[in-house]
Amino acid sequence: MDKDSNTKSTENKMPRGPLSGIKVIDWTLWQFGPVAAMMLGDLGADVIKVEPLTGEQGRAMFTLSGIDRSLPGGRNSYFEANQRNKRSIALDLKQPEGIDVVRKLVSDSDVFLQNYRKGVAERLGLGYEDLKLINNKIIYGSGSGYGPEGPDAYKPALDTVGQARSGLMYATGPEGDDPYPIQGVVSDQIGGIMLSWGILAALYALQATGVGQRVDASHLGSSIWLQGLGVSMSMLTAHKPASETNLTAKPSRDNAYNPISNYYQCKDGRWLMLANLEADRYWPTFASALGIEGLAKDKKFIDTLSRAKNNQELIKLLDQVFASKTYEEWDRILSSAGDFIYAPVQQLMELWDDPQVQANKYIVETDHPTLGKVKLANHPIQYSETPASIRRVAPEIGEHTEEILLETGYSWDDIGKLQDKGVIL
């Protein structure tokens, strides 16, 4: 049995995801679009990644933020993380025959995804108006920097400018600090999540109405929605004096309004995050658990307003208390003393060993033909009857070109001619 037969045999044993039977054409690059397509692939869709003969740009991301992200076999972790559950077809879209292949793929597909700047797809005859003439039920997903309308609709964008334009860079760090981008390429990630969510809604509408449609998501809109509570609350209270100069006020740790919804460093250097928003409910038992019962009746700390007024003094006291024991000791104390809301502040490499992460399979181990066993962030939603799954790792450039062309109706003769013209690898 050859490698492809092995792959198909393994796939046949996998559970059918909620999108099993849905065919997606993924003409996307970097992270925004690829994440959207990958999430649909996790749900069981057959995702065909269309990329140039030289490979999609993400294949060249061997260094990211100055960190070596290269892997054996000419691979890199950026591409591997964004491209699972896809088959790859490599095409030269500068040639009309390459465009013809994409259009034929669209004719019997359910979803088409692209995240090029506005006008690129249209110039190639791959815009929504073009493709709905071929397939009027197509769901056309489009990812952009700033949305399909407005003066900046044609401008290019990547993650950090999405964070900047949306106000997200001012959402981190203490008040008065310089703006700083959140790590993990989160504007791209939330853009991809929102685009896949929009595709799912459009697929549902298609079932109900029989009508396809275009779905647009952007860095700007998605990153605003990522901080939607803060944005909406700020807009609603913008007339209040405290909001006049800063709609996203960020108190520092040592000036937190509610000291028992704050984070503290333990004896072993680990940080503990408290999130006890109903402060008056928790304060007496919390003070008792920490061995500072006397503070619970102290007039300076007796209720929320008093603690807020004297917050810096209380935080200094709590700093001393938490510094007296390790995180594990505090974990035992807090878990046995009440229903306090708290958690350790973990680093990314700690997640795999977290028993809660393991129990829910939020990170999974899978076999990779080049890298061996690898760990990947799993699809974050659980389905009781149609589970999501990782069926394929990221493909090689054009790994499935011939297979896909044969499925689309091309003969071996046709494939030979396309190779001779340099349309495919």
The pLDDT > 90 percentage for the chain reads: 84
Q: What is the pLDDT of residue 175?
A: 65
Tens digits of residue pLDDT in 267-289? 999 999 999 999 999 999 999 99
Instruction: Provide the CA 149 distance to its chain's centre, in angstroms.
Output: 24
User: CA–CA separation, 275 vs 284, rounded Å?
Assistant: 15
* Contacts for 59 with CB less than 8 Å, ≥ 6 apart: 76, 79, 397
| Nearest to 79, CA basis, from 60, 65, 66 | 60
State mean pLDDT over 218-228.
Answer: 93
Q: What is the pLDDT of residue 183?
A: 86
Mean pLDDT of the chain: 92
pLDDT for 337 beyond 90: yes
Distances (CA, A) of 257 to 225, 239, 312, 385: 25, 21, 9, 45
Q: What is the pLDDT of residue 244?
A: 43
pLDDT for 246 beyond 70: no
For the full predicted model, state whether its pTM sits above 0.75: yes
Tens digits of residue pLDDT in 381-408? 999 999 999 999 999 999 999 999 999 9
Tens digits of residue pLDDT in 281-331? 999 999 999 999 999 999 999 999 999 999 999 999 999 999 999 999 999
Length of the chain: 425
pLDDT for 36 beyond 70: yes
**Ramachandran region of residue 147, left (φ > 0), alpha (ψ -120 to 50) or beta?**
left
The pLDDT > 70 percentage for the chain reads: 93
CA count, 13 A, side-chain hemisphere, 178: 2
Radius of gyration of the chain (CA): 26
More confident residue, 235 or 342: 342
Q: What is the pLDDT of residue 184?
A: 85
Q: What is the pLDDT of residue 247?
A: 47
pLDDT for 93 beyond 90: yes
Q: Give the pairing of strands 139-144 and 213-218.
A: parallel
Q: What is the pLDDT of residue 6?
A: 46
pLDDT for 255 beyond 50: yes
Q: What is the pLDDT of residue 171?
A: 83
User: CA–CA separation, 108 vs 106, rounded Å?
Assistant: 5
Tens digits of residue pLDDT in 106-129? 999 999 999 999 999 999 999 999
Instruction: Provide the CA 75 distance to its chain's centre, in angstroms.
Output: 21
Tens digits of residue pLDDT in 125-177? 999 999 999 999 999 999 999 999 999 999 999 999 999 999 898 887 666 67
User: CA–CA separation, 52 vs 91, rounded Å?
Assistant: 5
3-state SS string for the chain = CCHHHHHHHHHHHCCCCCCCCCEEEEECCCCHHHHHHHHHHHCCCEEEEEECCCCCHHHHCCEECCEECEEHHHEEHHHHHHCCCEEEEEECCCCHHHHHHHHHHHHCCCEEEECCCCCHHHHCCCCHHHHHHHCCCCEEEEEECCCCCCCCCCCCCCHHHHHHHCCHHHCCCCCCCCCCCCCCCHHHHHHHHHHHHHHHHHHHHHHHHCCCEEEEEEHHHHHHHHCHHHHHHHHHCCCCHHHCCCCCCCCCHHHCCCCCCCEEECCCCCEEEECCCCHHHHHHHHHHHCCCHHHHCCCCCCCHHHHHHCHHHHHHHHHHHHCCCCHHHHHHHHHHHCCCCEEECCCHHHHHHCHHHHHCCCEEEEEECCCEEEEEECCCCCCCCCCCCCCCCCCCCCCCHHHHHHHHCCCHHHHHHHHHCCCEC
User: CA–CA separation, 177 vs 249, rounded Å?
Assistant: 11
Exposure b/e, 125-154, CB count within 10 A at least 16 = b: bbbbebbbebbeebbbbbbbbbbeeeeeee
State mean pLDDT over 213-242.
Answer: 89
For residue 5, what pLDDT band results from cuts at 50, 70 and 90?
very low
Contact by Cβ (8 Å): 272, 341:
no
Q: What is the pLDDT of residue 101?
A: 98
